């Protein structure tokens, strides 16, 4: 991926790429938490609580299936009119959908209309998020100087742990300071409405940027294609599919370490929700460290080698996952969670740069976004449910095997992309 001289200040570029992905993960986690604690009670007909909970979690999955739509929509304009304008539109779509969720009337007030509106907002989140990640990564990597693409590309990836810390911290504060009645009445709305502040900051920073040098060069040399998605699907299908498998381990490990582990820890291991969330908050710092380590190594030895190493690390982690999580001690659980976040960071830290550089500039926004979001469907949307079924039906060890298989897929994809992944 050849990049002309950057025209934006490094600080603005890196902050602008970070703020969007931070919002992304913040929004995803406040929704996931609310889908368990709030939405079954407030947005679904009262009856069987189990059915209401499953219906609520189904709305959580909606966003993953909507994300490829966002990839096609925002990817098209990102590759046609530019990264900057498209990122602004994606951020607004995501932000407005999230804030509206916090303002929705409940089922008790307007009946089934409330449920429908919640689903529409969740789809809106997915569409916005489908265009956000790819654009944020390109904003960073296409402004990166030679030899520092993975370093620049790691900043959007930091949005995952930061968003997780912010969302978990907010719900811990609400749990400490509000009664259950107040939380259900109005407290749960605070994180959704408050995300508007992050969106405003993100818009301010992004509107002040110049177009990325790589895309400006594509304009100057008239290399833009008419319909980027068609070009991706007809000329770059193999790379797109391999790119999706490249990201599967990151998604699978992340949602098993967070969503599944939280459910398993509070239902089977005897932890309170507060205690387990605190363990996850401590563990997530391993995520931050290994994202940084991954980027450093990837710029030294190349993205292919780094991703193959991380795939191996995921495989090994899968073998040890069950014994550590079922150790019967908080230390064992903390180690399991820390290692989960750690191997996720090793994969995730260089992933954005890798997915960006396997596509040419003229279809990079569309291709990278599509690969990433298809990986989300395969590796994330149903992973907590599959892991719960495996653990209940066959034992926790099979969840570990599931993790290891995801690591194998990432390793094989990195090997197959040897000619496309650069240093």
Tens-digit pLDDT string for the chain (423 aa): 444 555 667 888 888 889 888 987 788 788 877 877 788 888 887 666 667 766 776 777 788 889 889 888 888 887 887 777 888 888 899 889 999 999 999 988 998 898 899 999 999 988 988 888 888 888 888 888 888 888 899 999 999 899 989 988 898 888 788 888 898 889 999 999 998 988 888 888 878 777 667 667 766 666 667 788 889 989 999 999 999 999 999 999 998 998 889 889 988 899 987 899 899 999 999 999 999 999 999 999 989 999 999 999 999 999 999 999 999 899 999 999 999 999 999 999 999 999 988 998 888 888 998 999 899 889 987 888 889 889 989 999 999 999 999 999 999 999 998 766 655
Residue whose structure tokens are 């797109």: 240
Q: Which of 67, 136, 113, 137 is nearest to 378 (CA)?
A: 67
Q: Which residues contact 186 (CB under 8 A, 6 or more apart)?
A: none
Fold of 10-416: Growth Hormone; Chain: A; (1.20.1250)
Q: What is the pLDDT of residue 1?
A: 46
Measured between alpha carbons, how far is 165 from 374 in angstroms, rounded to an integer?
25
Q: Which residues contact 152 (CB under 8 A, 6 or more apart)?
A: 13, 14, 140, 141, 143, 144, 353
Query: Domain locations in the chain?
Result: 10-416
Count helices and strands in the chain by DSSP H and E runs: 21, 0
Which tokens sit at 397? 């060890």
Which tokens sit at 375? 């990986």
DSSP-assigned states of every residue in 30-50: HHHHHHHHTHHHHSS-SS-HH
Residue whose structure tokens are 């990986």: 375
| Other beta carbons within 10 Å of 87 | 28
**Distances, alpha carbon 408 to alpha carbons 245, 246, 289, 363, 401, in Å:** 10, 10, 23, 28, 10
DSSP-assigned states of every residue in 85-105: HHHHHHHHHHHHHHHHHHH--
Helices 10-37, 149-157: crossing angle, 10 deg rounding: 30
Q: What is the pLDDT of residue 253?
A: 96
Residue whose structure tokens are 């919002």: 23
- Residues 31 and 56 sit within 8 Å (Cβ to Cβ): no
* pTM of the complete model: 0.85
| Other beta carbons within 10 Å of 393 | 8
């Amino acid at each position: 991926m050849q990049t002309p001289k950057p025209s934006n200040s490094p600080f603005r570029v890196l902050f602008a790429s970070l703020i969007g992905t931070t919002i992304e993960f913040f929004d995803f986690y406040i929704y996931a938490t609310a889908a368990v604690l709030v939405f079954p009670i407030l947005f679904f007909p009262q009856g069987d609580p189990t059915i209401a909970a499953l219906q609520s979690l189904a709305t959580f999955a909606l966003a993953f299936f909507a994300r490829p739509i966002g990839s096609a929509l925002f990817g098209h304009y990102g590759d046609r009119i530019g990264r900057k304008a498209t990122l602004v539109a994606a951020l607004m779509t995501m932000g407005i959908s999230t804030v509206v969720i916090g303002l929705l009337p409940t089922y008790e007030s307007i009946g089934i209309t409330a449920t429908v509106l919640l689903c529409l907002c969740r789809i809106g989140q997915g569409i916005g998020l489908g265009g956000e990640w790819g654009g944020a990564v390109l904003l960073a990597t296409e402004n990166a100087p030679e030899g520092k693409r993975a370093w620049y590309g790691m900043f959007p990836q930091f949005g995952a742990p930061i968003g997780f810390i912010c969302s978990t911290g907010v719900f811990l504060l609400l749990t400490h300071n509000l009664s259950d009645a107040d939380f259900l009445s109005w407290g749960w709305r605070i994180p959704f409405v408050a995300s508007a502040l992050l969106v405003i900051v993100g818009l301010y920073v992004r509107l002040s940027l110049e177009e990325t040098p790589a895309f400006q060069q594509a304009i100057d040399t008239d290399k833009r294609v008419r319909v980027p998605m068609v070009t991706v699907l007809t000329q770059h299908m193999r790379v797109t599919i391999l790119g999706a498998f490249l990201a599967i381990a990151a998604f699978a490990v992340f949602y098993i370490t967070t969503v599944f582990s939280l459910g398993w820890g509070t239902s089977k291991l005897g932890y309170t929700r507060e205690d387990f969330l605190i363990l996850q908050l401590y563990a997530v710092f391993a995520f931050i460290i290994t994202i940084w380590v991954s980027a450093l190594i990837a710029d030294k030895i190349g993205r292919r080698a780094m991703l193959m190493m991380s795939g191996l690390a995921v495989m090994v982690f899968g073998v040890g996952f069950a014994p550590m999580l079922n150790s019967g001690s908080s230390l064992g659980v903390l180690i399991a969670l820390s290692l989960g976040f750690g191997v996720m960071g090793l994969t995730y830290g260089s992933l954005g740069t890798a997915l960006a550089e396997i596509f040419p500039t003229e279809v990079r926004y569309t291709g990278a976004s599509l690969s990433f979001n298809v990986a989300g469907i395969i590796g994330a949307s149903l992973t907590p449910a599959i892991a719960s079924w495996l653990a209940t039906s066959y034992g926790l060890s099979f969840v570990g095997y599931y993790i290891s298989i995801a690591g194998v897929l990432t390793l094989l994809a990195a090997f197959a992309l040897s000619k496309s992944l650069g240093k």
